[in-house]
Structure formats: structure tokens, C-alpha cells
Amino acid sequence: MKKNILVNFLGSKGAGPLYSIEAAKHLIKKDLKVYVLIPESIENFSDWTKHGFEIIIVENYQGLLNKFLLFIKLIFKSELKKKLCKLEIDIIYIPMLGPFSLFVNNIFKNSLKITTLHDPIPHPRSNKLVNFLNDIVCNNSDYIIVLSKNFIDYCSNKFKLKQSQIIHLAHPVFDTSKFYNNKEYKFNFNKKFNFMFFGRIEDYKGIEVFLNSVILLQTNYDNFSISVIGSGNLNKYKHLINKIRNIDICNEWIPNDEIEGFFKRKNTITVLPYTSGTQSGVIPISMLSNSLVISSKIIGLVDQLNGHGVLFNTNDSNDLSNKMELILQKQINITEITKKAKTYVKTQTWDKMIDKLLNKIKI
């Protein structure tokens, strides 16, 4: 008998909508009836309507008042809660946690609960209330998915679950080429190499480490430029940005259909200077686009790269500058590394991930 699974995801932007729909698309291939709970403001909404999902739409909840109203709707009697209560759900799957995940899960007391925990150790300065709610979700989950095998023991101990209940599923590849609109980007600098940071601007992503390494590097070299691509507040880094000669900044939200254009620029080196975190969706996109990855030695990132990139000591601008210098001196075989990286990342498929998940939970 076909099982009913609810994809519980109420995020709107970022990697979450892309990760969630890819998982849902591959779940529906496995003879499951897939319900999805998504907000009307989700950036890839039209894509969700194309795959045969049973869609439950949550009205826009942007802003503090609307968030409070959604909380009330999920706790007390409402049309949304009535609609959810009518569903016969065997499995609830959370592809990415959010502040409302717990309240949706609580509606389905007897369903098997699977939670993807992208950040077992919360980022510095992350919302403590949301972290607390997420811990409750995990404590009441039957299975937890982690993206790095290095967190299996940690999650088993923290959430008092057997190791068999912690499932390691590496971050599958996002094939952004299917979205790409072939837009060409015109940048101010046409240097031999371009070192690029791509992603939302947040403290834990180590922008300061990256900028300081560039300041060191440009004292002896001028045959490179850097790019900082992504939305977020750059004001605290202005004093460093002003010291850099060849820098392009695109400080805005990048839609899915424009992402690949940044990685496809010739001789673009993707830099992940993270000071904390687990895995990153930027890595597989870089690998698919033949962009060499330089990453800090965060455990999850090292695990994800699997030897197919260049590593530097976390939070160490000097070491990052040294690794960038090796590239400028052509002491690193970029072609060989990127070729092997692309071959490797193509094995990290969504089908493989979903098959492993369903085998683990015996579906």
C-alpha cells in the first residue's frame, strides 16, 4: 500500500527551497504519495506545481505579525489546521528546519518523523529560541539526517538516539544548469584569476578572513581580482573592502536562474572561508562548473570535498593567502583537481540519497 509523506517546509529563500523540492521530486518517484506544505512566498513556487504533489499552501507570513498569526493557526483551530488534520500522513519529512517545524509536526502525533539537521552545532549568533525549538523537533524525531558522517556520534548522544537512527546523507548536487538563463555578467576587472565568495553574507562564513587574505596577497601580486556575491550587510567590512584594488561586489539576492553564470566565468576560484558550519550547497555547484574550491578545514566541508579541493587552516588569513599565492604561481594543477571533482560530484545524486533514506527507514 502506498505510503503518504508530508514534506514540512516553510522557508522562502536560499538553498532551502531548492534542496526541499529536489528531495520531494525524488520521493514522488519512489511510489509515495507526496504532500508538501509550503508558503506562497517560496521563491520557486511555480516549480512545485509541476510534479504531481498535493500542495498545501500557507499564506504569506513575512513580518512579525504574520509570523505570530501563523503560530496561532498551527496551535489553535483554524482552516489551515483543519486541512492538515484531515490528512492521513504516515511520514513527516523535514528537509530543513525552521521556527514552525515543531508546530506542524505536533499536529501529526502518530506519524514517523524524519528531520534533516543541516547544522548540528548552531552557528554563532543564531537565534537561541529557534535553536531551542529545533532541538525539541530533533528530540522527538524517529530519524535524523546529517550531512556529514562526523556528526553521527554527536547527534546520537545529544538527542539520545541509537546510531542507526542517525542517517548520513551527503549533500547531493544541485544541477543549476537546468535553471540557467545564459545571462552574461560584465565585471570591472578582467584579471588572470578571480577569487570568488558566493553566498549570503553572514559572520560565520568568514568574509573578514577572506578580505584580509586578499590584502596580504595584493602586496606582491596584481594579476587577480576578487568577487563578493550575495545578499547581506557588508557595512562592517567596508574598512577592508576599501583597501582592495580589484574587487567586484554584487550585494544582492541571486535568483536560481542566475547562479551558474557566476561560477562559469573563466578562471574563477571559489573560496569558502567559513569559520563554522557543516556542508555547503556552493561546493557541488562549483565542482559541476569546473571552479576550483579553496575551503577552510571545517570538518563538514572537508568531508564534502573528499579530497577534491584546496584546504587552508580555519580562521587563518595568512594560510589562505599562501594557498591563493600557490594558485597564482601555478603550483596547483587546477585542471586535474577540477576534472576529478566534477566526476566525483556527479556520483552524489538525489536518487542515491533518497534510496539510502528509504532503505534505512525500511520503506
Distance CA 264, CA 61 (A): 36
Question: Stretch 230-253: mean pLDDT, rounded?
Answer: 95
Instruction: Supply the pLDDT for residue 21.
Output: 94
Question: Stretch 317-342: mean pLDDT, rounded?
Answer: 95
Instruction: Supply the pLDDT for residue 321.
Output: 98
Q: What is the DSSP letter of 2?
A: P
pLDDT digits (tens, 9 = 90+) for 15-50: 889 899 999 999 999 989 999 999 998 988 999 999
Given phi > 0 = left and psi -120 to 50 = alpha, else beta, which region is 133? alpha
For residue 343, give the C-alpha cell: 566526476
Closest CA to 269 of 191, 185, 182: 191
Percentage of residues in the chain with pLDDT exceeding 90?
Answer: 69
Instruction: Supply the pLDDT for residue 68.
Output: 80
Distance CA 119, CA 97 (A): 10
pLDDT digits (tens, 9 = 90+) for 152-181: 999 999 999 999 999 999 888 876 555 545
**H/E element, 361:** none
- From edge to edge, which strands make up the β-sheet containing 54-58? 54-58, 32-39, 3-8, 91-94, 112-117, 143-146, 166-168
Burial class (CB in 10 A: 0-12, 13-18, 19+), 279: buried
SS (HEC) of 174-198: CCHHHCCCCCCCCCCCCCCEEEEEE
Instruction: Supply the pLDDT for residue 4.
Output: 97
Q: Identify the three-state secondary structure at position 355.
A: helix
Residue type for position 361: I
Question: Stretch 96-114: mean pLDDT, rounded?
Answer: 94
pLDDT digits (tens, 9 = 90+) for 310-320: 999 999 999 99
Domains of the chain plus CATH, in order, are 3-172+348-360 (3.40.50.2000), 177-345 (3.40.50.2000)
Distance CA 119, CA 130 (A): 12
Question: Strands (DSSP E) along the chain, which ranges?
Answer: 3-8, 32-39, 54-58, 91-94, 112-117, 143-146, 166-168, 193-198, 224-229, 247-250, 268-272, 293-296, 310-312
Q: What is the pTM of this model?
A: 0.86
For residue 3, give the C-alpha cell: 505510503
pLDDT at 258 over 80: yes
pLDDT digits (tens, 9 = 90+) for 270-285: 999 999 887 888 999 8
